Structure 1
Amino acid sequence: MRDDTLRLFFALPCPPESAAAICAWRDALALGGRALAAEHLHLTLVFLGQQPRARLDELRRLAAGIEAAPFVLHLDRLDAGRHGLLWLAPSAPPAALERLAAQLRERLQAAGVDCDGRPLHPHLSLLRHAAARPAEAHPDFAWPVEAFALYASLPTPRGVRYRELGRWPLRASLQPPRHAAPP
């Protein structure tokens, strides 16, 4: 990684209480592999990849302009991918989650920021290189999503670490409600 760029992504941070409960559940499954640390659990909204450090202020301003309502995220499905990757996912992603990710992507594209063009696949990674996938696992985790954040993915000798670079609250539109004309 060059010093003038950062590997960035926008994500929903997993609250500490939820992260602790998820990690305790995961660890009880005894699947081996490399577990993600509780403080690094998140659900990626938009992956930006390598971006110039000089763009950080622009990305923070862009994020500050997002208007999205809070919602509840329910993770109730355990899935597996290549190389032993295990993750939690919602069986029915909330429409508010999809709108938030779409709004971020639209604003990034309008600002000329290159980002991953793949469709949103909401998931929270749990393990890398898991030795097995449990036959009977019934996750049931939920948390109120009240903010999203910008993260940098930083390589270290002990693996990748995520550093939060900014956090923004979710809030309903600041516009006053429109009243219908009387009948």
Structure 2
Amino acid sequence: MIRAFVAIPLPDSLLPACRAAARVAISGRKVPEENLHLTLVFLGTQETRRLEDLAEALEVLRPPPVTVHLTGLDVLAGFKLSRHLVATVEPEKGLLQLQEAVERAARRVDIALERRRFRPHVTVVRDCIDPTLPPWTAVPEASALSFSLFRTTLKKHGAEYDALATYPLPGAPDH
């Protein structure tokens, strides 16, 4: 059984804004830069065969170009009583179309998904004391280059993410 999700790795040009956002948290665990991502669909714990089927289904998707535009900071409830500092993301048309297509693909291969509203964001600090949210400095948008099917491995120091499969998005080099 594998704990998994589908997400867009954060474009490099947006990393400085997330680093700056993480500095406002009084406490908590800063998400390492290599783990910053925008979750499209959380899959929970799945059998390997189901994830292989999903990987094949994602391969044939023809998603539109996706722009990631960070719009501000917020604090969201996490598991149990935890709070997470997040950078909110503009729910632009291409992003919403990709998220819906990934969700449909998961359901087609019989992955049961939680019914929850898609709130695009990038978690920058986990388990934080509610920070005072500073005014947001405008951040340029960036084109997403790809999305990936990730495996999560929970460790003492936090989660580790490994891409099981990666899919280029329109506008990415060599696409």
What interval of TM-score do these two structures reach, taking the shorter chain for normalisation?
A: 0.7 to 0.9
Q: How far is 1:147 from its partner?
A: 1.1
Tell me the SS of whatever aligns to 1:68. coil
Q: How far is 1:107 from its partner?
A: 1.9
8 Å contact from structure 1 (residues 46, 116) kept in 2: no
Q: Which amino acid aligns with 1:126?
A: V
Q: How far is 1:156 from its partner?
A: 1.2
Q: 2:14 aligns with which of 8, 14, 18?
A: 18
Q: 1:165 corresponds to which residue? A: 164
Residues 30, 118 of structure 1: alpha-carbon distance in 2 compared, 3 angstrom cutoff: closer
Listed as ranges, the gaps of 5+ residues in structure 2 are none
User: C-alpha root-mean-square deviation of aligned residues, in Å?
Assistant: 1.9
Q: Which amino acid aligns with 1:130?
A: C
User: How many residues matched?
Assistant: 166
Q: 2:84 corresponds to which residue? A: 85
Q: Distance in 1 between matches of 2:64 and 2:151?
A: 25
**1:55 maps to 2:54:** no
Q: 2:131 corresponds to which residue? A: 133
Q: Distance in 2 between matches of 1:109 and 1:62?
A: 10
Residues 171, 24 of structure 1: alpha-carbon distance in 2 compared, 3 angstrom cutoff: closer
Matched ranges for 1:1-183 at <5 A: 5-19=1-15, 21-29=16-24, 31-82=26-77, 83-90=82-89, 92-141=90-139, 142-171=141-170
Q: Distance in 1 between matches of 2:45 and 2:84?
A: 23
Q: How far is 1:61 from its partner?
A: 0.7
Asked which structure has the greater CA Rg, the reply is 1
Runs of 4+ with >3 A deviation: none
8 Å contact from structure 1 (residues 35, 128) kept in 2: yes
8 Å contact from structure 1 (residues 16, 39) kept in 2: no
8 Å contact from structure 2 (residues 25, 129) kept in 1: no
Q: Distance in 1 between matches of 2:133 and 2:110?
A: 45
Listed as ranges, the gaps of 5+ residues in structure 1 are 173-183
